[in-house]
Amino acid sequence: MNVSVRVLVAAAALLLGVQVQAQGAKPAQFQEGLHYFVIDGAPASIAQPLEVIEAFSYLCSHCNTFDPYIDAWKSRKPDHVEFRRMPVVFGRGSWELYARGFVTAEMLGVAEEAHGALMDRLWKDKKVMRSMEELADFYSQFGVEADKFMGAARSFAVDARLKRDQLQLQSYGITATPTVILGGKYRIAGNAAVPSFDVMLEVVDYLIARESAGFQQSSVAAD
């Protein structure tokens, strides 16, 4: 190799190295199929307001760990984003008990108020409740009489809501908890490319920003 060729090769290598360093200095763009997944059959566009769902279970230790992360995220989420929780059953009787309890509490208006306390009772105090009567007694401290809670838990309305939620979660392709669903279109969960809850919520924020920008552009075009 003559001198001029060696100089050109060295220059090209130097330029490549600079480009790699520059690229490495920027946060990598999150990729579909790696950091998040588009749900089969999902609509091409998401309606406003954007809805974020946390698929969870009270008996999932990872969901307990995720709680302070999602609570911090809720305090800073955009105003046009709505958040709610949806309990997963996965065919497990113990998970179904707590899912039914959550749906009942939600219909009675105390689910969010009681959420943190129930997680603490299970994972800090190590007090597992194994019957609806015990759950009714727990929720009574939030202003719902135990008898009223028990009656609601056995009602057709709670049955129908629980079945509908599980069918919806199945349609989202959820196989683990916690999983975040954005607008019924995107599924975000931990994996090798999403190694922490911080990264998981960064992906959520990225998708919210992207979908919000698309919605704004559509609104401007319509005007």
In the predicted structure, residue 202 carries a pLDDT above the cut 90 = yes
| List of E strands, the chain | 37-38, 50-56, 81-87, 179-182, 186-189
d(CA 55, CA 189): 10
CA dist 111 to 43, 55, 108, Å?
29, 15, 8
Q: Exposed, middle or buried, 69 (CB in 10 Å: 0-12/13-18/19+)?
A: middle
Please report which confidence band the pLDDT of residue 143 belongs to, taking 50, 70 and 90 as the band edges.
Answer: very high
Is residue 153 within 8 A of residue 129, CB to CB? The reply is no
Mean pLDDT, residues 19-30: 49
**Structural domain span for residue 194:** 33-222
Residue 22 lies in a domain: no
What is the count of structural domains for the chain? Answer: 1
* Residue 2 domain flag: no
pLDDT value of residue 119 = 98
CATH number of the domain within which 147 lies: 3.40.30.10
Q: Is residue 17 part of a domain?
A: no
Q: What's residue 153's pLDDT?
A: 98
Q: For position 48, what pLDDT does the model report?
A: 85
Residue 28 resides in a domain: no
Give per-residue pLDDT as tens, 88-139.
999 999 999 999 999 999 999 999 999 999 999 999 999 999 999 999 999 9
24 in a domain, yes or no? no
With respect to residue 206, please indicate whether it lies within any of the assigned structural domains.
Answer: yes
- The residue assigned the tokens 């309990």 is 87
For the cut 50, the answer to whether the pLDDT of residue 23 exceeds it is no
pLDDT mean over 2-24:
40
- Cβ–Cβ < 8 Å for 139, 114: yes
The DSSP result for 103-141, as a single string, is HHHHHTT-HHHHHHHHHHHHHTS-----SHHHHHHHHGG
pLDDT tens-digit map of 183-199: 999 999 999 999 999 99
In a domain? residue 216: yes
Residue 9 in domain: no
Structure tokens at 19: 């480009």
